[in-house]
Each structure stands twice: as structure tokens, then as C-alpha cells.
Structure 1
Amino acid sequence: MSAVMQPVAAQAERIRVQGLVQGVGFRPTVWRLARREGLRGWVRNDGDGVDLHVQGDAAAIERFARALRDEMPALARIDRVIRRPAVPEDAGDFRIVDSEGGAARTGVVPDAATCTDCRAEIFDPFARRYRYPFTNCTHCGPRLSIVEAIPYDRAHTTMRGFALCDDCRDEYTSPQDRRFHAQPVACHACGPRARLLRTDGAAMAADMLTMLDDVDAACTLLQRGEIVAIKGLGGYQFACDATRADAVARLRDRKRRPRKPFALMARDLDVIRRHCAVSDDEAALLASPAAPVVLLVADGARRVDDGVAPGLRTLGFMLPNTPLHHLMLRRMDRPIVLTSGNLADEPQCIDDAEVGARLGRIADYVLTHDRPIARRVDDSVARIVDGVPRLLRRARGYAPAPLRLPAGFERAPAVLAYGGELKNTFCLLRAGEAIVSHHVGDLDNPRTQEDYRRALADYEQLFEHRAEWLAVDLHPDYRSSRLGREQAAARGLPLATVQHHHAHVAACLADNEVALAAPPVLGIALDGLGYGDDDALWGGEFLLADYRAARRLGTFKPVALIGGDRAMREPWRNTYAHLMAEMGWARFANDYAELELHRFLAAQSRALIDGMLASGTQAPPASSCGRLFDAVAGAAGICRERTQYEGQAAIEFEALADAGTLADADDTLAYPFAVPRLKSGLPYIEPLAMWQALLGDLILGTPVPVISARFHKGLAKVIVAMVRQLCADGAPAGGVRRVALSGGVFQNRVLHEQVAARLRAAGFDVLAHRQVPANDGGLSLGQAVIAAARALSAAERRGE
């Protein structure tokens, strides 16, 4: 809830507005509203937001204060309004005055997709910015990708090298104009310019490809089947015609990305609807100012090449988010692949000097421009799950908008949380809000590690954040954790080590604005792996948790990871480990020798593997739900031998799930699980009966889509059964009626919706992620709020 002081009847007031109120046209809105009410005074930006002085009739001031919220610009977000009486000044007409510096406590607005007005201008032959690929105003355009310091003024952006022409300066200085103090404002005469070049440096004549300009010439190259590197908002991208198998295959080969799905961009919704079913909610998400990649169900008659998203029934589409993309696709009536400009697993290229060396091996042409990129910002990815838009990757369009923290965190100290190893983000927490960084990526890549360190320093400088606590994952070998421990020692700061799955659940609580003082919830954290409190590997956990503490109440059956990390890349290892844990080789061979699965497993180096299982060497047990998915997918023949990207087996197995079986089949046909107890007394999900039913279906030749649906339904049923058991009267979580779903497995739409619906039917309140990903991209937020809660508890014990 916003903290708003009671209005006062005064002839003059000083008003402070905090939130996302810079770079969005907020001051011109204040100017317009003040003049409408006949008020005098001034408004300015500073490091804390927007500061203004108004004087005049008391009733007019009240109307003005209400209108600040009711008529604020589309990209603005008001978190707090503070009003206090002021001494009347000798003021003339209301005016906008120069910004003040000071500590940066205001938010940076994310990059925003081209607005309707600017889009109309670039296609209007009579407009001054006809076909200008860097058109923007206060309602759209680059922010995070160009800002270098706060307050957000032109001198603090990468646009400072472009001097405004007279026409642009008139717009920039006129409060009535929608470009008033739009920091990237420019035009053909004074702004950045696009150029089409060959990546090998050879000369070319773009006018041989078009009658218009270099941007349109790039469209011709795409139509001819070429791969073009494009300098986008937050980095370079690779583009090709998504309907041409030869172009898609060539891009996959050169980029070294054999199976992972590509993102797509289309000129408009009509083009997308030729290839996918698009609901009203999905259309609104696609057309929002954030313009994320949205996962959509593909039409069976799609004309997009199968190589775009092998093995999947979904396609990730986005609409153009800059004028350059709009102009380039004007004549393109089919989708293009638009993926990050890098080799597989490397960070996206943003440096013009690296284009030839890093991108020239993949693209033959590059559409570039001379506006520098301040920092790399990837595309965000979202999906409608259980009727709600949920972020799978939080980057362009969303980061770094601060997240308002729930009640109780107002006095929390400043925390820097370092995030996880995969899908890394980090988080800056202070003054009741959390700034979660843009998606950084997987830290097992050296280039990404360098980018991560730069981004950490960049955010601390940009937001003038002075951490009082640091927070890291409990895993001792995460690169992020090692860096956090090093910096804690170097800075002399207290360090909070946070259990992985507790962080997942806490992030879900913060995402849903659950108050610090709220009673514990039952958190279900399902993922691949995380380091447990007992030094074991966890991944399927039921936790009684709040922000301060978590207690493990239930788990999945611990099963060996044969070969350690190799088990994450080779699903058959998990299949073998599960079968050996459930029935052993003799029984499996006796009962299921006719299966092709038996023949495959028999051909492996069983003597060596069995020795590893017996000794535990390179075969640590893990209670991983993610590895259970791999094991079942491998048994069904999905990605059995090797995956090409994280989660591939589970993703393709989910994609196969038969909709009719999910919706209509009797629940008794769902695969059964049991909930016995480990020797320690901890209840766990036992999959023996599931394996017997699944192997029986394989013998019967049951279609894999039906097998997938039966597995998903059965797993959802046993998860709910575990919740009911743990929350029954007299049980460890007796009386708890609120359940939080977190971890990357819950990005599986089928499982998420099955579990959520069954929990609600059983009378539980279900919390799930929306603003931050359920996967490891949300870990840093969870680490930050847990560290803050611990610090506040310590302060309370000291009587502070």
C-alpha cells in the first residue's frame, strides 16, 4: 500500500512523488494539471523522484493532487506521495525547472516499445520523422539501455553526443509537446543513423536492394534468405526468414544452437494469428509497452519452419519494439527469427567493435547504427499460465522497474543479493523496494561471468546503492556465491547464506505482497537441483516457510545422479537410476525385456554404472523433481540420449501431453504415486507405482502424448495429496491454507494449472509468480528479502 499523508488545507504545499516518474512525461503532466487548476509554482526531477511546489486555492490543490494519480502518464507508476504545508513563494505561472542531483532513490523506467503516435509518424510521408528508425517520445523508446546516471537527463545517456537540431529542441523544451524532455529525442537531421554493411567489410550498395533506405534494404535481404545481424535496443540480434528451412538451418549451424527454440517477430497480430492461436490476454501482452516474447500455442497448419521450435507445440512471438523493427518488417508478411546476437551460451553482443569478430561468422550482413548501448538487455519472455501473465525471463520492458516490497520491509537495511548460477539475476534492496536486475544468464560461461561483474558494479553505481548486507545461495561452488563471499570479506559486511528453495518460496511471497509479519505458508519448490540444509542435493521440496525461516516437511524420493552433472544432460541416466532404485535390473529385465527401453539400457556400460551406484562415487542422491521429469521423458523416448539445452526433455514431454486426456480422462487413469516416509520420518513422493503403470503402457503401445498426460495428472494429484497430509489437523503444517508454488518446474503450464486447480478445489489459497520468474531468475529477490528479514529480526533482538 502506498503511504500517503493526510491532505492539508493550505494555500501552498510541497509535494514529493516517488516511483517511476522520470522519463515518462510526468513533469509535463504536472505542468498541464497545475495550469488547468490555476496554480502557481514549479516542478523538477531529483534523485528521489519528482519534487514540486504548488500554491493557490486550497480546493484547486486538492483537485490537482487527485489528478496526479488519475491522469498520470501511461508508463508512470506512483509508489508514494508526500504532502506537507509550505510557505507561499513569489511565483509566477507554473513552470518546469532544472533537475537537481542527490542520492539516486528513484526508479529507472524500462525500455518501452514504440507507442501508437510514433508508429503513425514513421509511416506518414508528410511527417517530419517519416521512416526515421529512432523516433521516440516520453511514452516510448530506450531508457535502461541508454541511461548512465540518475537523474535521467540527456546528459546522463548515450544520446549526449547528438546535439539537438532547432526543431527537436523546440519539441524538447515545450511542455505542451509529448517530446518534452524525452531524452532520446532526435530526427533525421540530428540523431543516430542506421547503416547496412557487410560483416566482412566488403563494399556494398544498399540501393541495389531497395528504393527507400538501408533499413528497408535489410528486409529485402531477409526475403532472399540471408542472415542479418541487427543492432536492436539492448544488443545485436540475428534475423532470418522463419518460413525458410535453409535459412533457419544455416542459422542453427552457425550459431551452434541445434535444438533450443528461436524467438520470432512478426509485423503485426494478423501475421501472428496465421501461425498461432492468440487469446485476448495474449494479444494484450504482446501489444503492451514491454512487448515481451509471448509463448503461444502453434496452429496445426503453421507455415513456420519446424526447425524454429523443434519438438514443441508453442512458438515464442513478439511484435516490433522499436521503429527500426517496424520499418524493417513493413514489407514482410511472414515471421522472422529474431534471436540474440551471440554464439550459444555467450552474452549478447553490444559492442560495435566486436561485430566483425563475433557476429561475422554467423551473419553476412549487419544493420547497425551509431547510438551506443549502455548495457546489454535481452528480450523478456512471458506466458499466460492459469489465466495470468507470468514472466519466464525478466529483461527488456520490465527491468529494472523497482518492485514494491510488502508491509514490514520499510526499515530494512540495504541488501545486495547475488542470485544463482543459472538464469542469473541480482537484486538491490533498500527503502521498501527491490530492484531486480535484467536477465544476466548462466554463469558457467566466462563471457557471462565478466558481464555479470560489470553489471553488478554498473547497478550499484547507477542507483548509488550502498549495501549493508550481502546475500548468496547456500551452494559453496556457485560462482555468484563465491563472488559474494569475496566481496563480503573485502567490504567487511555481514553475509547471509540462503537455502536455494527457501529463496524460491520467499521470492513468491514477495511477488504476491505477503507481509513480513504474515504467518508461514506451505511452499512447494520444484526444480532441478539446489543445495540443501543437510548438505544433500534437493529439488522437490515442501517447506513450511516465511521470510525468516523454512522447515522441510516433505520431499521427493532421493535418487542417484549417475555421473553427477552428466545426469543433467543425459536423461537416460536418470531413467536407469530410477528403475534401479525402484525394482533393480533383474526385475526390470524379467518383466520388461520386450521394451526397446530395455534394449537401450542393456547396451550401456552397466557394470561401471552399477559400481557407481553401489559406492556412491559420482552418483550423489538428489530429491529432484526436474530429474524425475528427465527420467520419465527418457523412458518415453524423448531426448533420451542427450539434451541440447536446459530442461529440454521436460519441455518437449510437456508439449506432447494430450489435451483430451488432461481434460476428460478419468482421474483413476492418472499414474499413481504413494506418500510413505523415509527412515528419518520425512514423508516423500514414491514413484514405484507410477513406473509400473508407465512401463505397462509402453508394453501396450500407448501413445506418448497419453503417457505424458497421465504422468502430469498423476504428479499433480500426489502433490496435492502431500499438501493435504501436511496441512491436516495435527500435522506439522496443520491449519495452513496458503500454498506458494515456485521453482522452474512450475513453468510447466500443464503441471502448474493441474496443481493450482486441484489445490483451489481442496480449499487452499494458491500463490504463484507473476512479476519475477519462478525459475532461478527469481532467486535473487528471495535471497534479498530473507537477508532483510534476518537483519530486521537481529535489530529487534538488539532493541533497535
Structure 2
Amino acid sequence: MSLQPHLVEPQESFAIRVRGRVQGVGFRPTVWRFARDLALSGEVLNDAEGVLIRVNGARAAVDALIGRLHREPPPLARIDSVETWPIAEVAADGFSVVESAPGAAHTQVAPDALVCAACAAEIADPFSRRYRYPFTNCTHCGPRFSIVRGIPYDRVTTTMAPFGLCTDCLAEYRDPADRRFQAQAIACHACGPRARLVRLDGRAVSFEQHSMLDDVDAVCSLLQKGEIVAIKGLGGYHLACDATRADVVARLRERKRRHAKPFALMARDLDIVRRYCSVDAAEAAALASPEAPIVLLRADGPARLPEAVAPGLGLLGFMLPTTPLHRLILRRMERPVVMTSGNLSDEPQVTDDVAARERLGGIAAFALMHDRAIANRVDDSVVRLSGGAIRVLRRARGFAPAPIALPPGFESAPPVLAYGGELKATFCLLKDGEAIVSQHIGDLEEGAAFDDYGRNLELYAHLFDHAPAVLAADRHPEYLSTKQALARAAAEALPLAQVQHHHAHVAACLAENGRPLEAAPVLGIVLDGLGYGDDGAIWGGEFLLADYRGYQRLGTLKPVAMPGGAQAAREPWRNLYAHLMAEMGWPAFAMNFAELEVYQALSQRPRASFDAMIRDGRFAPRASSCGRLFDAVAAALGLCRDRQAYEGQAAMMLEASVDAQALADEDEALAYPFTIPLLPETRMPYLEPLAMWNALLGDLILKTPPGVIAARFHRGLAKGVAAMADKLAGGEGEVRRFDTVALSGGCFQNRVLFEEVARRLVAQGFQVLSHARVPANDGGLALGQAAVAAALSIGDRPCA
């Protein structure tokens, strides 16, 4: 019998570069574990470009390592690219994890993440050394962006640097087999941050008074007793109270000066949420996801919360406990709590303990503080199920600053800084083929938000080592963000692309959907409040044939005066009056509809002054705004007629009032009609609402229920929008001008409108693109601006 020689596979050495969200998420110990399983030697380290692996072994084993990294990454990791090249043999005995290497930043900072199941089990286990420890975390969960101050993401570059590790934590931190290996926020009772309950009036806390043993647990008792408590969370302070107590919620509203805007809620578990809301599988998954956002849910459960929680709305915004601290506070809480941002109305969240005493002391009697500093303010994210997908309405904690990969064709794009808009402000950095959109910052007209915007611009430049070659901003000359961009462009001699507002909306939708740079133009339908048009007028209901490099305005909503300019956005009756005067004039309105309550209400207004203002035009600019049309219809139904307490209130209440049965079952012929004539000056097609107003006012005479009127309006507008798209594409027998439609703008955060428009467009044979990862509202503008500026810098090709 002959013996076959034993074949030894040749040993080779390779470097493997992994880019993406691979730092601070347990990626290196995962590599270490896989490499040991495969009998590979070498090393793995973090550096400024991501993770670098140097490995010796059989080529098949190296390929197997790469395959397992793709198939079995850590829960919070995201691999964007893997590059491999041969190198000289690595001198290594076994496989090891080595210290991070410095250098220019080309990697990602992970967002903060919901407490994982393993850590949640530990804090509930009396035999665990982290039993009831409120800052428990591991590489699969916990604080990330909110505590980071620099790159690479190591403990010394976070706000955990002051906390030296005890012997037990140090052993876990050094053990690649432990899930806390190199977990930069690792801590325990012995060595980590500590929470303390304080009275904001300076008096001592008496635990006997509350019958509780520790500071964190005492918060639950305080909430149950009807107190308002300020709680230091991941990215800022919250104000919490018992959501079932109408008197306490009213007290919080009065003290916070937030008179109508809905409050966010937190509940211990899904069972409590389901008492008040219906929750489907996608919504439940979003609540329990690592991002842990506020999820807007239908308030149609068997129990009801006080009207003061979300006045006039049919939705409640719930989140589950995001940190061990919140889990411990709510473990005995059998009912939901308000968990709203810790601030006075419209100001940014408080993050500093001293500021909490100064600014929240008049609102909350107690504060739960801790000694881990918040490096970066991050508000709670908000999402909603619409059109079968979870869609981001406010992108912040859990999502930012995770990058969005740019579509094919943008590989050679230079570094871009886009300054975004003025409301719901964000900015965007383009670097290495990725778009890094900042967290939601707020309305820049508020001084504190504007200051925070400036601090974040500096922070992101530092974290991502970003030096822009091109700047981008909105065309509106009075936007504070645009003024900043203009000043920097002049000071540093940088090219500045001023991007039309609605073009940026379309480009953002294209970018997040991966639409290639050289793809054919789409019809962008942008329905929002206000944007600066090419003609110096206010646009807000636009049909643009657009790609990244350019656009052509093909259609619009009817331009109608806004008496008082910005004041009209705050007082819906002004828009109602302007619409009725533009459609029929006062004599016809009085002749046909004088019996209506709305006629009596408008007749009491200073009509002569407003008629003169509209004729003059200087203080009543015309706007093709879909948002103002919603305001006008809401005012006709008596919703927020005099004044909106917050932006979008009238439109939100109009959506909330829609009768679901009428929406689903009524004859299509009852939808309020819009026609499509041509503007006299430009011959551009526009949506004319005259017939809609006649039908709506007629229904008011017939005492049609408001919910039915709201349903007919939404269906009619959607029908008109879809008809406009079909008309612009070309009729029967013609080659269509476009086959894809992109929907953007804040009005498409209205679920009824979005779903009705999208359904009709799909039925007409169009592919429909829409937002999910960035907001359809102005929170997505910066991404679109950056994409347009990058496209123009790569090469100029006008929109077809």
C-alpha cells in the first residue's frame, strides 16, 4: 500500500482593510475570534480609516475570514467595503488585537444604541455585579456619538476618560473573548459614573419621604406622586411626568411654555404601549431596534391618555427605555410617562448640569443627574410607518452620524460641506463617497439653536477631519445658514453652490434611493411650506423635471397671496381669506355662503386692510405653497383658525380629522376636484383649487361631518397631483417624458396624502421614489444640496 504525501497548504500574508461602522461596535474581537477559529496568525487594529487586519495563513482560511465578517458582523457594525492585498509576512505568534493607530479620520462614528438584551438581563440579575447599575453597556449597545470627542474612538477621546477602570472591568476590557473587550464606555458600580437625585431648589433629598432606597428608584416614586423630574439621558436632559395625570401634564405644559405641541412618551414595555395604541410588526420592530426612536402610533388602543398629551391629534409618539437608567426608573412604573426634551419651548435640550439647575429649575422640582458628561447634544429621533415602510421624520439619536453611501457616479466627488436650511436645520459633509448628515439641530432663528449649529459644524469638522473643497447652501438670501456659507466662501475663497430649495429636496430623495448620477431625469413632486424660487417668488408646490445637475419647472400649485408674509404661516385664517378672494372674491362668497359660520368669522376681520395689502403685494407675497393650502382648508373647518401654536399644527390636525371609512370607501367622484389650466403669464400648467373650494363650502352648508370633508380634500388633492404627473409625462400613445417620480417636501410626511399620491402614481405605471432614511422635510435639504454641489463639481450636464 502506498502512502499519499500530506499536502500542506502554502501560507500567505495579506492586509485586509475594512471600512464602515467598524469602531466601537466589537469588530476587532469578532475578527480575533474568527481568526483563532481558522488558525490564522496576525493582528487587528483600529486606525483613522477603519479597521486594518494583517494576517498569515492559508488563502482558503483568509477567504473564510472575510466571508464570516460579511455574514456575521457584530450587531451594530456596518461594512461598506473590504480591500485585500498581499504583504510581507507578519511576525506574529498567534492572533492579537493591538493599539489603535493615529492618523487622518476616514472612518465612522457609531450612533448611540439601545441597551442590548444581555446588558438588560445583567441589570435585572441580583447575582450580577452590574445589578441595577444604570450605566451598564458593552460593545453591542450604549453611548457612542453622545460621548465622543475625537477619532479614533478610544476611551481617552470620550467623556469616559476621567473614569479609571477597576480590576474586574479592566480584565473584561482586555479579554478579546469578552463582549466588553475594548468597550470604551465600560463601567460598573465600583469605577463608573454615578447618578444622584437632587432638588432643583437646592434643598436636600430625603429618601424617607419617598420610601425608596436609592436615587434612581426614587425617581419612579416621584413620578407616581405627580412630580415633574428632569432626567439626564444620553444626548441631553428630558422632563418626565406621569402621562396619565391630566393635571400634571397641564402643569408641565404651562411651565415649559409648550401649549399644544405633542409630548413624547416612554413606556416600560410593549404591553403598556398597546393599552393606548395599535402596534403592528414593523412598528414594534422600530421601537425595539438599536436606534430606539420615538414611533408615531395610532392612538386607538382600549385605554386613553389625557387630551393634553397630544391635543387634537390621533397619534401618540412612544419610545421604549433607551438606556439602563431609563429601564431602572420605569421597572415599577405600570403606566406611560411623558419624556419630552429638557428645555423651554423651541430651545435646544439642556446637556450641562449647571444649565439644568438654571433653566429647568422653574419646571421640575427634582433632577436625576450623573457625572458622565454629554459631549454632543442629540435629540430623540422620530419615525412613522407610512406606505409600508418606517420613515424618519426627525433624524438624531440612534441614526446620526451614520453615513449614507453616495450613488454610483459620485466616486470622484470632492469634499463638500452643505449648510442645509433654516428650519429643522441639519448640515451635511461629503467625504470618501459618503454623506454624513448631522443630527437634527432645530430652527436657526432661535439663538441657542444657532449657537448649537455653529458648535456642531466645528465638531464634525474635527471628528471627521473634514476640509471642504466646495460649499453648498440654499438660495434664500436671508437664511442664516446661507449667510454663514456666503461668509465662509468669501473668507476662504471656496466655491459655493447655491441650490434651489425644491431641487435640493428632489436630489435628497434621489441620493438616499441610490439613483445613479447619470440616470435619466425624474419628475420631482415637492409639496412643502416655503422655498425661494428662481423668480424671487415663494414656491411650495412644485413639479420639477430634475436630476442632480439641474431641473426644469414643469408645473406648480396656484400661487396665492400670503397676507402679512411670515405671519400668514402662523395664522391660518389669513390663508383662508386669501384663497377665497383669489378664487371667488367676497361678493360671490357672500352671495353663496353667507349662512356659514366661516363667513361670519371672516367678516369680522379687517378685510379692507387685507384687500389693500393683497393688491399692493409688498406685504402679501404670492406663494404656490401646499402647506398654506392645508392651513386654509384647516381654517375653513375651524382647526387652528386664529393661530398655530407650532409649525404644521393645522395640517397635522386636518390629517388627524380624516374619517378613515370615508377615505377608504367613498365613491371616487366625491373627492374634491382640482383642474389643470395654464398660468396666463408663463403658460405653465397649475393645479387650480376653485372647484375644490366650491365643493368644500357646499359640504359645509350640507353639514357634512368634518372628517368626511378632510377625507375628500386629501383624496382630491392626491388625485390632482397624480393627474398633473400624468399630464406632464405625456398622454396616451406618446413616449413618456419620464418614468420615475420622486416625492419630497414636508407635506409628504402626511401619511394620508403620501399613500394616496403614491398609490395613484403606481397605478399609472410610474416608479415612485420616496424618503425613509432622511426626512422628507427640510431636515433632508443638506443631503440634497451636497449631492447637487458634488454633481456639478464632477461635470456639467444640463437636465434633459
**Normalised-by-shorter TM-score class:** over 0.9
Shift of 1:300: 5.4
| 2:795 paired residue among 773, 779, 793 | 793
Q: Which residue of 1 aligns with 2:274?
A: 273
Q: Does 1:579 align with 2:568?
A: no
Q: Which residue of 2 aligns with 1:182?
A: 183
SS at 1:741's partner residue?
Answer: strand
Matches of 2:651 and 2:775 in 1, distance apart?
A: 18
Q: Which residue of 1 aligns with 2:698?
A: 696
Q: Does 1:766 align with 2:783?
A: no
Q: Which residue of 1 aligns with 2:658?
A: 657
Contact 2:10/2:58, CA 8 A, preserved across alignment: no
Q: Which residue of 1 aligns with 2:325?
A: 324
Distance 1:732 1:77, change over 3 A: farther
> Aligned partner of 1:274: which letter?
R
Q: Does 1:620 align with 2:618?
A: no
Q: What TM-score, normalized to structure 2?
A: 0.97
Matches of 2:49 and 2:216 in 1, distance apart?
A: 40
> Aligned partner of 2:153: which letter?
Y
After superposition, give the CA deviation of every residue in 1:645-684 in whole Å (9 maximum; x if it has no partner).
0000000000010111111111000000100000211000
Q: Which residue of 2 aligns with 1:635?
A: 636
After superposition, give the CA deviation of every residue in 1:159-192 in whole Å (9 maximum; x if it has no partner).
0000000000000010000000110000000000
Q: Does 1:467 align with 2:468?
A: yes
Contact 1:210/1:216, CA 8 A, preserved across alignment: no
Distance 1:418 1:522, change over 3 A: same
Q: Which residue of 2 aligns with 1:85?
A: 86
Contact 2:287/2:320, CA 8 A, preserved across alignment: yes
- Over aligned residues, Cα RMSD in angstroms? 1.4
> Aligned partner of 1:768: which letter?
S
Q: Map 1:164-203; keep pairs closer than 5 Å.
A: 164-203=165-204
Q: Which residue of 1 aligns with 2:3?
A: none
Q: Which residue of 2 aligns with 1:260?
A: 261
Matches of 1:213 and 1:332 in 2, distance apart?
A: 16
Moved more, 227-236 or 86-95: 86-95
Q: Map 1:565-604; keep pairs closer than 5 Å.
A: 565-604=566-605
Shift of 1:731: 11
Shift of 1:212: 3.2
Distance 1:558 1:770, change over 3 A: same
Contact 2:22/2:108, CA 8 A, preserved across alignment: yes
After superposition, give the CA deviation of every residue in 1:534-587 in whole Å (9 maximum; x if it has no partner).
111000000000000011000000000011011000000000000000000000
SS at 1:372's partner residue?
Answer: coil
Shift of 1:211: 3.5
Contact 1:393/1:773, CA 8 A, preserved across alignment: yes
| 1:742 paired residue among 735, 741, 744 | 744
Moved more, 297-306 or 576-585: 297-306
Q: Which runs of 5+ in 2 are unaligned?
A: 1-8
Q: Which residue of 2 aligns with 1:3?
A: none
Q: Which residue of 1 aligns with 2:248?
A: 247
SS at 1:11's partner residue?
Answer: strand
Matches of 1:103 and 1:467 in 2, distance apart?
A: 14
Shift of 1:301: 3.9
Matches of 1:488 and 1:608 in 2, distance apart?
A: 43
Matches of 1:263 and 1:607 in 2, distance apart?
A: 43
Contact 2:55/2:90, CA 8 A, preserved across alignment: no
Q: Map 1:299-448; keep pairs closer than 5 Å.
A: 299=300, 301-448=302-449
Contact 1:138/1:178, CA 8 A, preserved across alignment: yes
Q: Map 1:207-218; keep pairs closer than 5 Å.
A: 207-218=208-219
Matches of 1:631 and 1:673 in 2, distance apart?
A: 15
Shift of 1:10: 6.8
Shift of 1:614: 1.2
| 2:710 paired residue among 708, 711, 719 | 708
Distance 1:240 1:731, change over 3 A: farther
Matches of 2:11 and 2:389 in 1, distance apart?
A: 44
SS at 2:36's partner residue?
Answer: helix
Matches of 2:81 and 2:115 in 1, distance apart?
A: 28
Q: Which runs of 5+ in 1 are unaligned?
A: 1-7
Q: Which residue of 1 aligns with 2:293?
A: 292
Q: Which residue of 2 aligns with 1:4?
A: none
SS at 2:644's partner residue?
Answer: coil
Q: Which residue of 2 aligns with 1:717?
A: 719
| 2:781 paired residue among 759, 763, 779 | 779
SS at 2:722's partner residue?
Answer: helix
After superposition, give the CA deviation of every residue in 1:773-799 in whole Å (9 maximum; x if it has no partner).
0000000000000000011115x99xx
Matches of 1:177 and 1:131 in 2, distance apart?
A: 21
Matches of 2:371 and 2:301 in 1, distance apart?
A: 42
Distance 1:211 1:365, change over 3 A: closer
Matches of 1:62 and 1:550 in 2, distance apart?
A: 46
After superposition, give the CA deviation of every residue in 1:28-73 in whole Å (9 maximum; x if it has no partner).
0000000000000000000000001111111111111111111110
> Aligned partner of 1:735: which letter?
R
SS at 1:343's partner residue?
Answer: coil
SS at 2:265's partner residue?
Answer: strand
> Aligned partner of 1:346: which letter?
E
Shift of 1:356: 1.5
Q: Map 1:487-506; keep pairs closer than 5 Å.
A: 487-506=488-507
Matches of 1:655 and 1:150 in 2, distance apart?
A: 45
Contact 1:673/1:689, CA 8 A, preserved across alignment: yes
Shift of 1:729: 5.4
Equivalent residue pairs, number: 789
> Aligned partner of 1:201: which letter?
G
Shift of 1:351: 1.0
Contact 2:154/2:184, CA 8 A, preserved across alignment: yes
Matches of 1:517 and 1:774 in 2, distance apart?
A: 23
After superposition, give the CA deviation of every residue in 1:597-617 in whole Å (9 maximum; x if it has no partner).
000000000110011011113
Distance 1:733 1:643, change over 3 A: farther
Contact 1:725/1:731, CA 8 A, preserved across alignment: no
Matches of 2:245 and 2:401 in 1, distance apart?
A: 36
SS at 1:553's partner residue?
Answer: strand
> Aligned partner of 2:307: which letter?
D
Distance 1:498 1:395, change over 3 A: same
Contact 1:526/1:746, CA 8 A, preserved across alignment: yes
Matches of 1:734 and 1:793 in 2, distance apart?
A: 27
Distance 1:731 1:628, change over 3 A: farther
Matches of 1:581 and 1:103 in 2, distance apart?
A: 59
Q: Which residue of 2 aligns with 1:5?
A: none
Q: Which residue of 1 aligns with 2:753?
A: 751
Matches of 2:110 and 2:768 in 1, distance apart?
A: 30
Matches of 2:303 and 2:445 in 1, distance apart?
A: 36
> Aligned partner of 2:148: which letter?
V
Shift of 1:620: 0.4
Q: Which residue of 2 aligns with 1:11?
A: 12
Q: Which residue of 2 aligns with 1:479?
A: 480
> Aligned partner of 1:484: which letter?
A
> Aligned partner of 2:221: which letter?
T
Distance 1:674 1:337, change over 3 A: same
SS at 2:283's partner residue?
Answer: helix
> Aligned partner of 1:487: which letter?
R
Contact 2:421/2:781, CA 8 A, preserved across alignment: yes
Q: Which residue of 1 aligns with 2:52?
A: 51
After superposition, give the CA deviation of every residue in 1:172-231 in whole Å (9 maximum; x if it has no partner).
010000000110000000000000100111112235324431011000000001000000
SS at 2:145's partner residue?
Answer: coil
> Aligned partner of 1:162: which letter?
F
Matches of 2:29 and 2:735 in 1, distance apart?
A: 53
Q: Does 1:224 align with 2:225?
A: yes
Contact 2:278/2:301, CA 8 A, preserved across alignment: no
Matches of 1:536 and 1:207 in 2, distance apart?
A: 65
Shift of 1:422: 0.3
Shift of 1:515: 0.6
Contact 1:395/1:438, CA 8 A, preserved across alignment: yes
Matches of 2:41 and 2:202 in 1, distance apart?
A: 59
SS at 1:56's partner residue?
Answer: strand
Q: What TM-score, normalized to structure 1?
A: 0.97
Shift of 1:85: 1.1
After superposition, give the CA deviation of every residue in 1:378-402 in whole Å (9 maximum; x if it has no partner).
0000001001010000000000001
